[in-house]
A and B are shown apart, each in its own frame.
Chain A
Amino acid sequence: MITIALPKGRLAKESAAFFAKCGILNLCINESSRKLIYFDEKKNYRVILVKPFDVPTYVEYGAADMGVVGKDVLMEKNVRIFEILDLGIGRCFLALAGPKGKKTDFLEKKDKVIATKYPNITKEYFNKINHQNLRVIKLNGSVELAPLLGLSDGIVDVVETGRTLKENGLEVYEKMFDISARLIINRASLKIKKDLISDIIEKMERGLEIEHT
């Protein structure tokens, strides 16, 4: 049996739809349900729903053989897994953002404070552009609130449509990285369950090719 970890929320539904389209498994994930484990009819697959940031952990230690997770999470958590495919779903980007019209003030400010769910990515990014005196505040969600309440000067967060930013009086200062969902695989599983997993990868690759044409 192959265990697949999916991130709770919209990406879980999108991933399930993609798995179905590739002819791997048909699964109906009910968002209002509290169920965390799903099986397919033939019991070849077990799908678990976990927090996005826990997907790499489940896969790294082999509790799940494979998983689907955003590149943002993989960049933040440096895990030893195989990152096999770009599924092209869950597209968004990581951005540096802050109060509308304050970009110059922000850039000129020497000791910036940034609130984010991604402290590692943020530190690394500012390290690369040689910015010193950066303070990072780690939040677990609703990061947009931080600059409004004076907790930080700016934020680093994923942006999909930009609506949340706009509705809270924020704007993108800089686009940092493009993000999309990746298929990740446990190192041992790829070797021990090679035939089963190669079959899934091939089906997904074919599915992706059809999508491109």
Chain B
Amino acid sequence: MEKKFTDYYPPGSAYYEKVRGKISKLYENFGYQIIEPSVFINYDDIYFCDKNNSFKIVDYDGSVLTLRTEYTLSAANIAANLFDERQDVMKFYYFGKVFQYLTENAGDWREFHQIGIENIMKKDDPFSDVEVIALAAETLLELGFLNFTVDIGEVNFFKGITFGYGIDDESSEMLCKLIDKKDYIGIENFLKDKNIKSSVIDDFRRITRLYGKGDVLKDARVYAKNEISKKSLDRLEFIYRKLKSMGYEDYISLDLGMLKHMDYYTGIIFTGYIEGLGYPVLSGGRYDSLFSRFNRRLFAVGFAAGLERLIEKMPVFKETFEVYVGYDDEGFEKAFEFTKNLKGKAYFQSFPERREECKERAKNMGIERVYYFKGKDIILL
């Protein structure tokens, strides 16, 4: 039978708890607090791009709900409700399941775990961008990855350029898609049809090649002809320098042609890639405009990572029992009492067995320390 749903069972299920332990500690060290938003969201409220692949439920009164497809919207909603004027910042992290249909090509997923943080502030400050990107890199390091990159872009660089050349919104949306694909030829054909000067076409084509390490910033200056673009480069340079001085240079890269969800992100954007996996494992950015839907003026930056993809490639945790506890018919009470007080993970046998059986089973499970309770006696095998 076709397997439609995902069950989590040992040993895999234990990995999620391990990850939870590691990342909670990391995020809590930096003042992030856990949130657990409702699993339900009003269908009308979810992002347009998520509507198609979300799961719809009819509520008891006939209204349509969906299961949450991600956490940021709920986190922003919570912050908008709780934020009071005396506060400077609200920091949230989350760990849990989201529900979204990912196509057959992508492996036919309906549910997966997401971890992430949201840093929501009263003002816009580039230091919070640095903090969040550094924590994105730390998240991957904490999970044991060494060969990865957090690729960083800035949406205002492109917004400034299209604004400067007087390109209308509809065209710039199309252009975004082409540049994001680094589609050299598509850009040329598209702009030629719009009667755009060839020097401008060349500029847009060259933007697709603005990726790599720090020198990209220097190359990009040529295209930043107005204040919007210039400011975005200044900010990106500040962020890059800070991350470099913190020792993250090997784990970050730049791509000014990265243009995702332009109507959503308002500043830096970033995507995490690990070696050996062809698709992004982490995605984030600054999304200040989201709060206007809650009639608040707040500034936020955050990221989310899909755990299934990461766990697939994670260096395997060794999950073994340290102690085996066996007993005969009369030894049960003592054995139970003993196990209760044990430190470390014990395998407690669920039926009485003979001494030789106990030894054999422990050996098969690869457990070296074996306690056998024979009546009132304890024997170390």
Contact in complex: A60, B279 (CB < 8 Å): yes
Distance between Cα atoms of A84 and B208 in the complex (Å): 9
Contact in complex: A85, B184 (CB < 8 Å): yes
Contact in complex: B278, A57 (CB < 8 Å): no
A175-196 at interface with B (beta carbon < 8 Å): 182, 185-192, 194
Given contacts A190-B211, A192-B149, contact A61 B183 (CB under 8 A): no
CB nearest neighbor in A for B106: A61
Contact in complex: B184, A86 (CB < 8 Å): yes
Chain A interface residue count, CB cutoff 8 Å, equals 23
Contact in complex: B151, A60 (CB < 8 Å): no
Contact in complex: B181, A82 (CB < 8 Å): yes
CB nearest neighbor in A for B212: A194
Contact mask for chain A residues 156-173; partner B; CB cutoff 8 A; 1 contact, 0 none: 000000000000000000
Contact in complex: A60, B105 (CB < 8 Å): yes
Distance between Cα atoms of A82 and B273 in the complex (Å): 15
Contact in complex: A81, B279 (CB < 8 Å): no
Contact mask for chain B residues 239-269; partner A; CB cutoff 8 A; 1 contact, 0 none: 0000000000000010100000000000000
Contacts of A188 in B (CB 8 A): 273-274, 277-280
Contact in complex: B211, A191 (CB < 8 Å): yes
Say if the beta carbon of A119 comes within 8 Å of chain B.
no
Contact in complex: B253, A62 (CB < 8 Å): no
Contacts of B151 in A (CB 8 A): 191
Q: Is the interface on chain B under 10, 10 to 19, 20 to 34, or 35 or more residues?
A: 20 to 34
Contacts of A76 in B (CB 8 A): none
Contact in complex: A83, B278 (CB < 8 Å): no
Say if the beta carbon of B306 comes within 8 Å of chain A.
no
Contact in complex: A62, B279 (CB < 8 Å): yes
CB nearest neighbor in B for A83: B183
Least CB distance from A61 to B in Å reads 5
Say if the beta carbon of A63 comes within 8 Å of chain B.
yes
Contact mask for chain A residues 189-211; partner B; CB cutoff 8 A; 1 contact, 0 none: 11110100000000000000000
Say if the beta carbon of B185 comes within 8 Å of chain A.
yes
Contact in complex: A62, B278 (CB < 8 Å): yes
Distance between Cα atoms of A93 and B96 in the complex (Å): 48
CB nearest neighbor in A for B260: A80
Say if the beta carbon of B186 comes within 8 Å of chain A.
yes
Say if the beta carbon of B320 comes within 8 Å of chain A.
no
B199-257 at interface with A (beta carbon < 8 Å): 211-212, 253, 255
Distance between Cα atoms of A31 and B119 in the complex (Å): 57
Distance between Cα atoms of A82 and B180 in the complex (Å): 8
Contacts of B185 in A (CB 8 A): 83, 86, 182
* Residue from A63, A84, A194 in contact with B278 in the complex, judged by beta carbons closer than 8 Å: A63
Contacts of A63 in B (CB 8 A): 278
* Residue from A59, A81, A86, A191 in contact with B181 in the complex, judged by beta carbons closer than 8 Å: A81
Contacts of B211 in A (CB 8 A): 190-191, 194
Say if the beta carbon of B355 comes within 8 Å of chain A.
no
Contacts of B147 in A (CB 8 A): 192
Contacts of B255 in A (CB 8 A): 191
Contact in complex: B182, A82 (CB < 8 Å): yes
* Residue from B105, B186, B253, B277 in contact with A83 in the complex, judged by beta carbons closer than 8 Å: B186
Distance between Cα atoms of A185 and B355 in the complex (Å): 61
* Residue from A85, A185, A187, A189 in contact with B280 in the complex, judged by beta carbons closer than 8 Å: A187
Contacts of B253 in A (CB 8 A): 191, 194
Contacts of B368 in A (CB 8 A): none
Least CB distance from A52 to B in Å reads 16
Contacts of A185 in B (CB 8 A): 182
Contacts of A182 in B (CB 8 A): 185
Distance between Cα atoms of A185 and B211 in the complex (Å): 14
In the complex, 23 of the A-B residue pairs with CB atoms within 8 angstroms, ordered by the A residue number, are: A59-B278, A61-B106, A61-B278, A62-B278, A80-B181, A80-B279, A83-B182, A83-B183, A83-B184, A83-B186, A84-B182, A84-B184, A86-B184, A187-B278, A187-B279, A188-B274, A188-B277, A188-B278, A190-B211, A191-B151, A192-B274, A194-B212, A194-B253
- The 10 closest A-B CB pairs, nearest first, are A62-B278, A188-B273, A82-B182, A83-B183, A61-B278, A86-B185, A186-B278, A83-B181, A188-B278, A191-B149
Interface residues of B (CB under 8 A from A): 105-106, 147-149, 151, 181-186, 211-212, 253, 255, 273-280
